[in-house]
Amino acid sequence: MPDTRIVVAMSGGVDSSVAAALLAEQGHDVVGLSMQLYDQSGNQSFGSCCTIDDLHDARRVAAAIGIPHYILNLEQRFQDTVVSNFVREYASGRTPLPCAHCNSDLKFSTLLERARGFGADRVATGHYARVETRAGGRILLKRSADTAKDQSYFLFSLTQDQLAAAVFPVGTLLKPAVRREAQRLGLTVADKADSQEICFVPDGDYASFVARQEPAVAHAGPIVNQQGDVLGAHEGIHRFTVGQRKGLGVSGAIPLYVLKIDVDASAVTVGPRAALDQTTLMASGVNWIAVDAPASWTPVAAQIRHRHRAAAGRVRALEHGRAEFEFETPQPAITPGQAVVFYDDDVVVGGGWID
């Protein structure tokens, strides 16, 4: 479909750069948009961030491809959706997944809305995932051809409307092929390193970031074992994630892991690795993509974090957008706040937030 206008969300990285270049080469009317998401004024309130360089990279790539490029200031929107959720989740003893929120609440929400204002019906990104329209009109989200790079996990919350507008040009390619494309197209970002997971905390010190944003979270509490015996103290529940082993400040005869975070008591429960294993989980805010909410048990595989290999089990939908999942074999560290995404082979059946 040449000559339809498509907005490409350009991060300055190799994937979205190649996405833009491929669409332009196919003859689409491509408009590059980059999102300025946090303070670039040099105050560096978010640490030693180099993202201004990424915006410049995006601009240079757009110029090389010969497409118009604009930077949108979405700082407030990013703060109100992604960052505030990130902070709130940590303050609630959960481990957030900001990239998924960014996809559904920013890229395929605010950015898509802006794109429509600019006469574009669709937004392309550099995500490794595929969309496919099934007979009957339902749009499927599928894992990318490069299974090691697959990012469908972060896209589970896209609605049918959002998926209808989504274009993932590199989803059918393997990463080395993407880099080769970048070289062939003469893009300067061909050899650029992949981005880190959470862009707005470039130093990776989530605890300090959360404490800066929400100083109230940084209050002490007990570290207890499964029997409730106090083993030590901690400086705030936002410093912990279920499954975490390092930085507990307590030691036992066997290695100890965070099992549970109790926000009301500000207590962190620790125990042996075996105690991390669980068979069931509950999810809320579930978005069903490939099927209507299944009332009866349905066999699917579930992925409970980005680097988790989806494990077999069964799911059924409950009321109020919730779902219940049972693994065939127990899985370690099912972490509240992360996403659970249900797969049927490489098709995303649906997904939700682990409670």
Whether 102 is a known active-site residue: answer yes
Q: Does 258 bind other proteins (CB under 8 A)?
A: no
**Please, what is the minimum distance in Å from the beta carbon of residue 137 to other proteins?**
24
Tell how strand 298-303 and strand 311-317 pair up. Answer: antiparallel
Helix (H, G, I), strand (E, B) or coil at 128: coil
Structure tokens at 191: 């050899």
Provide the 8-state DSSP code for 215.
G
**Please, what is the minimum distance in Å from the beta carbon of residue 196 to other proteins?**
20
Binder of other proteins out of 44, 118, 194, 247 (CB under 8 A): 118
**Please, what is the minimum distance in Å from the beta carbon of residue 56 to other proteins?**
8
Number of residues that bind other proteins (CB under 8 A): 28
Candidates 307, 292, 306, 289; CA nearest to 100 is 306
Kindly identify the residues of this chain, within the stretch 190-249, that bind other proteins according to CB under 8 A. none
Binder of other proteins out of 80, 113, 191, 194 (CB under 8 A): 113
Q: Does 26 bind other proteins (CB under 8 A)?
A: no
**Please, what is the minimum distance in Å from the beta carbon of residue 78 to other proteins?**
12
Whether 99 is a known active-site residue: answer no
Burial (0-12, 13-18, 19+ Cβ within 10 Å), 169: buried
The Cα–Cα gap between 157 and 171 comes to: 18
Structure tokens at 91: 């303050």
Q: Which amino acid is at 29?
A: D
Binder of other proteins out of 65, 155, 178, 304 (CB under 8 A): 65
Binder of other proteins out of 80, 134, 186, 274 (CB under 8 A): 186
Tell how strand 221-224 and strand 166-167 pair up. Answer: unpaired
The Cα–Cα gap between 17 and 38 comes to: 21
Q: Does 41 bind other proteins (CB under 8 A)?
A: yes
**Please, what is the minimum distance in Å from the beta carbon of residue 118 to other proteins?**
5
The percent of the chain in helix, strand and coil, each rounded to the nearest 5, is: 30, 30, 45
Catalytic residue among 49, 50, 99, 199: 199
Residues found near other proteins in the complex (CB under 8 A): 21, 24-25, 31, 36, 40-42, 52, 55, 59, 64-68, 70-73, 113-114, 116-119, 185-186
Question: Active-site residue numbers?
Answer: 102, 199
